[in-house]
Amino acid sequence: MKPYIKPKYEMADVFSKYGSAYRNSRKLPLSDHKVMNAIESCRTEALGGHLDKCAKCDYTKNAYNSCRNRHCPKCQGMNQLKWIDKRVNEMLPIGYFHLVFTIPQELNSLCLMNKKEESSLNTQNPKNQFEKAFW
Ligand SMILES: [Zn+2]
């Protein structure tokens, strides 16, 4: 597994700088506000702190609490690396490609209200699944 390299800018930095303007410029579901707030406050004084103590020696270190939100890149960083490592090990020695497609704008609100279904449709043959569900 590749070691974690801290990025120059984190999602929390972007949200802290532009999040408020972004949220004020559009109507977002409450769940999106909660995720953005969690990521912004993760490992800051806003969530309080605790004392990490080594089990083998007396070394201690103050640390801020994590948000533990499943969308937070800081909290899910190690899980993400493990997941990627597993997927890489499952890959066949053939060429792969990444497919991106756009859905009609008229379906945006329908997809926002049915995120689970929309997400599962997009991971399996998206064109056929989407047509089955909405046409
Ligand atoms: Zn977090």
Nearest to 39 by CA among 61, 18, 25: 18
Question: Domain for residue 35, yes or no?
Answer: yes
Q: How close is the Cα of 131 to the center of ligand 1, in Å?
A: 36
Contact (CB, 8 A) for 101 and 93:
no
Amino acid 134: pLDDT? 59
Structural domain boundaries, residue 59: 11-91
Using the mean position of ligand 1's atoms as its centre, give its distance from the Cα of residue 8 in Å. 17
In tens, the pLDDT along 59-87 reads 999 999 999 999 999 999 888 889 999 99
Report the range of poorest mean pLDDT among 48-52, 67-71, 105-109.
105-109
Q: Is residue 6 part of a domain?
A: no
Residue 98 lies in a domain: no
Sign of the CA dihedral with 10 first, then 103, 27, and 115 last: negative
The rounded Å distance from CA 23 to ligand 1 centre is: 19
Give the orientation angle of helix 126-134 with respect to helix 115-123, to 10 degrees: 140
Count: domains in the chain? 1
Rounded to the nearest angstrom, the distance between the alpha carbon of 135 and the centre of ligand 1 is: 39
With cut-offs at 50, 70 and 90, classify the pLDDT of residue 125: low
Residue 33 has pLDDT above 70, yes or no: yes
In a domain, 123, yes or no: no
Segment 14-24 shows an average pLDDT of: 95
In a domain, 57, yes or no: yes
pLDDT at position 135 over 60? no
Residue 108 lies in a domain: no
User: How high is the pLDDT of residue 130?
Assistant: 58
Expressed in angstroms and rounded, the spacing between residue 70 Cα and the centre of ligand 1 is 8
Mean pLDDT of the chain, nearest integer: 86
